[in-house]
Chain A
Amino acid sequence: MKTYTDTGKKDTRSGFGEGLTELGRTNPNVVALCADLVGSLKMQDFIDENPERFFQVGIAEANMMGIAAGLTIGGKIPFAGTFANFATGRVYDQIRQSIAYSGKNVKICASHSGVTLGEDGATHQILEDIGLMKMLPGMTVINTCDFNQTKAATLAIAEHDGPVYLRFGRPKVANFTAEDQKFEIGKAVRLYEGEDVTIIATGHLVWEAIQAAQKLSEKGISADVINIHTIKPLDAAAIIKSVKKTGCVVTAEEHNFLGGLGESVARTLAENNPAPQEFVATQDTFGESGTPDQLMDKYGLNAEAIIKATEKVLKRK
């Protein structure tokens, strides 16, 4: 079985910061905006190198989204960064009208998604953002799994013409994808070939899926594991192909089971290849304060939960 090596835990938000810094050096049209969270979003290096291309808007996310939309008129590529909660739910209508409906080339960069931002608690832990963003026509939705992939995605979305929601997080998580990877928007990444079950994961739950697949293998269960970094547009072909072979699927994400990756997979399969599915996700609940590990355990968002879901779905085949 192929091994994936964690080269050292790193936060995905730092992958975004490094990607943005590189863009500052390579693409003169890239500009950045932030709503008083520069340190949290790791934007300081970009700002130091390109002070004239950075816009500090203060604690005013609605205004930030509008300014970002306006900056595209004149050819700029704005990267607007804040916490996922304030980058989506708080400013949904600004994104809807001024960015998505207006077809503006804005990159919404959202850190601290999900419960694993930890101790700040539910006011800051959005578990609905993927759903909100994927419902907007024309919006590309990306949720990266580790530092390297987040950096690669940050570089890739600058080349994509259209609005993008890029979701990443606060905690340090395993960094296991290739440093020099090419990030292809909308293209699933196959991590393991297997016959019994398809495990489709997004974000840092991809690492949990890898751990789960290894433990399942010890029990004689072979899993086809897919890393879905782009939730919209979804790589339906890769999903259908895998589930045709395995006959059942487990989806895993740090998001509400309503509106997330799991629902997108379920819709794809319902239309093309109906199959039993289990959802590793939060169960229509708010989060709470705690450490990331405690929260992942309590809300069933880890390898153990994926294993349990797999055992359950196998019985439904």
Chain B
Amino acid sequence: MSKIKELEDFATQVRRDILRQVHKVNSGHPGGSLGCTEFFTALYQGGVMEHKPEFNMDGKEEDLFFLSNGHISPVFYSVLARSGYFPVDELNTFRLIDSRLQGHPTTHEGLPGIRVASGSLGQGMSVALGAAQAKKLNKDNHLVFSLHGDGELQEGQNWEAIMYAAGNKVDNLIATVDLNGQQIDGSTETVLPMGNMRAKFEAFGWDVMEIEDGNDMQQVLDGLNEAKSRTGKGKPVCVLMTTVMGNGVDFMMHTHAWHGKAPNDEQLETALSQNPETLGDY
């Protein structure tokens, strides 16, 4: 089997995990999770990140990832579990009382793979910057990756971080923005138009590249590897990755309706039929 086909099969299983997690508790955020499935799969399974599932908070001598838009926890949890960070069966506890899989990711319950709480938006890039600076102080040449929603960039703290990163040449950071054009109240264009994102990052002094189809595994893998090759050159790297929210489930795509809504029994069945079991359900 080709590497890409293997990764696509992994992603299909992750989509099932996302749908089943949110369906079980009738809450959570499937839309953005489904849209970023290829990204997480490439990062953790595609060899983009050098990472250690025997988790250590300090993360020395490995690449680190920070999820800023914490509401897409279902995809993060599935990929972490299926990458060996914690038992896949634990996905059964998503959003339940006494679970390590809180609605939004947190270090508080000690879930391996999570290095900071996120959910209140706009804070992840600052934390990623700190971790990247610590790597430089430690003479650790590994990279820091982060993911941000496009709507999330409406939070002002991001622009403090974006200015700081370029001004301080934090060139061991790859910040990816999920451009799905949707947020809770509608499209980003109707809620608060954000203009030309590439021009904005470039104006702040970042090296900006694009992944045109963030739901095409080959493109995502190539794009992230290209981003890695651009690190260490005096500029932070921004990857503008266009995705389709709800990708992989026909009735969830091209709408903000499934941002934070779980499918009912019938909808789940339809959604799962479009994503056949590949690695075995938990």
Contacts and interface: CB of A to CB of B under 8 A. Distances in A.
Given A73-B64, A74-B138, A98 B131 contact: no
B48 interface: no
Interface in A71-110: 71-76, 78, 93-94, 96-98, 101-104
Nearest to B127: A70
A66 B64 contact: no
A67 B107 contact: no
A296 B156 CA distance: 37
A67 B133 contact: yes
B129 A67 contact: yes
Contacts of B160: 57-58, 60, 62-63
Interface string B100-122: 00000011100000011111100
Nearest to A74: B134
B25 interface: no
B57 interface: yes
A31 interface: yes
Contacts of A10: none
A69 B130 contact: yes
Contact of A74 (B60, B119, B157, B164): B60
Contact of B131 (A52, A65, A73, A96): A73
A134 B137 CA distance: 32
Interface residues of B, number: 39
Q: Which of A57, A68, A96 has the most CB of B within 10 A?
A: A57
B119 A73 contact: no
Contacts of B209: none
A72 B59 CA distance: 11
A183 interface: no
B71 interface: no
A308 interface: no
Contacts of B163: 58, 60
A66 B118 contact: no
Interface string B148-168: 000000001100110110011
Given A57-B164, A60-B160, A101-B108, A70 B133 contact: yes
Interface in B36-95: 57-60, 64, 66
A63 B120 contact: no
A68 B160 CA distance: 14
B164 A67 contact: yes
A78 B129 CA distance: 13
B244 interface: no
A74 B58 contact: yes
Contacts of B128: 70
Nearest to B129: A67
Contact of A71 (B60, B130, B156): B130
12 contacts: A63-B129, A63-B157, A66-B124, A66-B129, A67-B126, A72-B130, A72-B134, A73-B57, A73-B131, A97-B117, A98-B116, A98-B126
Given A70-B129, A101-B117, A102-B117, 17 more contacts: A62-B157, A63-B160, A66-B124, A66-B157, A66-B161, A67-B129, A69-B116, A71-B133, A73-B115, A73-B134, A74-B135, A74-B140, A75-B58, A93-B123, A97-B119, A97-B120, A97-B123
Interface of B: 57-60, 64, 66, 106-108, 115-120, 123-135, 137-138, 140, 156-157, 160-161, 163-164, 167-168
Interface of A: 31, 52-53, 55, 57-58, 60, 62-76, 78, 93-94, 96-98, 101-104
